[in-house]
Amino acid sequence: MKEFIEGSHAIAEVIKSCQPGVISAYPITPQTHIVEDLAQIVADGELKSQFVNVESEHSAASVVLGASATGVRVYTATSSQGLFYMQEVVFNIAGMRLPVVMTCANRAISAPINIWNDQQDSISLRDSGWFQIYAEDNQEAVDFHLIAYRLAEDKRVMLPVMVCMDGFILTHGMETVDIPEQDKVNKFLPSYKPLYKLDPGDPMSMGLLADPDYYMETRFAIQETMRESLSYLSEISKEFNNVFSRDYKDLLVEEYQLKDADKVIVAMGSVCGTIKEVVDEQRAKGKKVGLLRIISYRPFPYARIYEALKDVPKVAVLDKAVSLGAYAPVAVEVKAAFYGKKKSPKVISSFVGGLGGRDITLETIHEVFRRLTVKEVNFDFVDLKPELLKEEYGE
């Protein structure tokens, strides 16, 4: 059913239809509206979940870990510092192969404290063993949660999924969203049947000490599962399309005006809406530009990106996060997709923008296309204010 609705409310509605047995979260801007809504939904008796209000994100993640290990579907949401505070539990959940689904309302990292959007929080947890899928708009954000549960609870997978949606831009943005009907959700998402669980009827120990004789295989197994999951994503996408008639193709990337393009921007999340607008405008003028939107950041679709960009002469990667002291995180991975391959763009330039919520405007995107020339840019910020860089300290 189509509704003009705030992103957070839409997420709460879709989580309601997924019917998690246990929800636990700790408030942090800009995640709050999601969990407030879920609390109300539970309070109104519309959802028979245990809603556990905790004293920290560390415990929020620990509560859903314990509940998932007991064999029920779970949900949590967080952002920024909250995600960092639960970091060790985040790694733990993946290591224990528990199919937790989490919304990350993407937000900048302190210091300085800043509640606005970039993608530094989730990108910093890229090595945790969680799937990370990035939504461009609120319809996707809603749909990706359904897909997240299907993927996480797949018997071949059993890994947690983080649905990343840009804070404020999506969480607080009003859009028309088709909220999935319950009967369709039931058709797409069967009730959760755990592979193993804490049950006195069949006791087992979980979370054991694995010494050097055993540890490495746990990591190999997750790596393999991630690799295999590249194809599961397109399977699930197909089934999703069958039920809901929305086609996310292989769920790895979206190719936008790539045919014959000679300049392409690679990006993730809501900024891609802005890029599409510039691409349309430029195409109308006969400029051969395009967008490659990465949907699945973990697992990273190297082969898919290679196929999409191998004949494009100039590529710019626009990151909304940094790896201070090194090249930008998405850019290095895009470049890695071409290392040692027969074909490759001649130029892969790297730009970082939108940190701490600085608007990435249409003009920003025009600027990126303008600076995408034969001279490769290894790393540069866009939209910097040089006048703010004059403070001097020390002798």
Structure tokens at 255: 């190719």
For residue 188, what is the enclosing H or E element? helix 182-188
Other beta carbons within 10 Å of 322: 18
The sign of the CA dihedral 111, 115, 118, 120 is positive
Structure tokens at 208: 């054991």
> Which of the residues 329 through 348 are near other proteins (CB under 8 A)?
none
**Residue selected from 1, 208, 326, 389 as contacting other proteins according to rule CB under 8 A:** 208
**Residue selected from 219, 343, 346, 366 as contacting other proteins according to rule CB under 8 A:** 219
> Measured from the CB atom, is 221 or 336 closer to other proteins?
221
Stretch near other proteins under the rule CB under 8 A, chosen from 18-26, 285-293, 341-349, 367-375:
18-26
> Which of the residues 369 through 388 are near other proteins (CB under 8 A)?
none
Structure tokens at 352: 């970082």
Nearest distance in Å: CB 209, other proteins: 5
Q: How far apart are CA 204 and CA 194, in angstroms?
A: 14
Strands 101-106 and 296-298: unpaired
Q: How far apart are CA 12 and CA 105, in angstroms?
A: 13
Strands 131-134 and 161-166: parallel
**Residue selected from 27, 29, 39, 54 as contacting other proteins according to rule CB under 8 A:** 54
**Residue selected from 220, 231, 336, 384 as contacting other proteins according to rule CB under 8 A:** 220
CA-derived radius of gyration, the chain? 21
Nearest distance in Å: CB 219, other proteins: 8
**Residue selected from 29, 39, 53, 379 as contacting other proteins according to rule CB under 8 A:** 53
**Residue selected from 5, 22, 34, 309 as contacting other proteins according to rule CB under 8 A:** 22
Nearest distance in Å: CB 132, other proteins: 20
Does 231 bind other proteins (CB under 8 A)? Our answer is no
For residue 215, what is the enclosing H or E element? helix 215-244
Edge-to-edge strand ranges of the sheet holding 380-381 = 253-256, 289-294, 263-267, 314-319, 347-352, 380-381
> Measured from the CB atom, is 210 or 384 closer to other proteins?
210
> Which of the residues 86 through 145 are near other proteins (CB under 8 A)?
88-89, 92, 96-97
> Measured from the CB atom, is 181 or 217 closer to other proteins?
217
> Measured from the CB atom, is 50 or 257 closer to other proteins?
50
Structure tokens at 147: 């897909």
Sites of contact with other proteins (CB under 8 A): 21-22, 24, 48-50, 52-56, 58-59, 62-72, 74, 88-89, 92, 96-97, 158, 196, 198-200, 202-211, 214, 217-222, 224-225, 228
